[in-house]
Amino acid sequence: MKSKYSKAKLAKFKKNILQKIEEIDGTMKNIRSSVSDNSSLFLDGSSEDHDEGTEAHEVEKNFLLISRESDYLTNLEKALQRIDDGSYGICEVYIEDAEKCECPESPLIPEERLLEVPNATKGVFCKEKKKLNLL
Ligand SMILES: [Zn+2]
């Protein structure tokens, strides 16, 4: 049974992750600059018809976005570490306790899923079971 991805495949995943990290970096910079634009509007306070409620809402939304993106970024960095230590792409449940892993055929998370969700740590089956507290 195949229980590890080849070096070539890992290199491909790594490239994909680095690309995502770059995208997120760009998005965060954009959000940050729009946040600071907004706060200068706040300090200014000159425009009378300025809808402060909407602005506050925008700022809050942006901060939420930033925290969500930075969580994702942390997870992608963890994924990079797993590539380096060779455990990337192997279902986490399998690593913890091979008997409990319900991934069909192999504990390897399918390549397509890893390319789409590079921070995935479990196979879909195990992920769903964990969500339902069955693991
Ligand atoms: Zn599994």
- Average model confidence (pLDDT) across the chain: 88
Whether 101 is covered by a domain: the verdict is yes
Q: Give me the number of domains the chain comprises.
A: 1
Percentage of the chain exceeding pLDDT 90: 65
Cα 66 to Cα 29, 30, 62, 110, 125, distances in angstroms: 9, 10, 6, 29, 30
CA-based angle 20:115:117, to the nearest 5?
A: 75
CATH of the domain at 121: 1.20.120.910
Which helix (H) or strand (E) covers residue 32, if one does?
helix 7-44
pLDDT of residue 40: 56
> Residue 22: which domain range?
7-38+50-131
Has residue 76 been placed in a domain?
yes
Banded pLDDT at 34 (limits 50, 70, 90): confident
Q: pTM of the entire structure? A: 0.78
Distance 80 CA to ligand 1 centre (A): 20
The overall longest dimension of the chain from CA atoms, in Å, is 69
- Choose between 24 and 49: higher pLDDT: 24
Q: Is the pLDDT of residue 50 over 90?
A: no
Q: Is residue 93 part of a domain?
A: yes
SS3 of 105, please? coil
**131 alpha carbon – ligand 1 mean position (Å):** 13
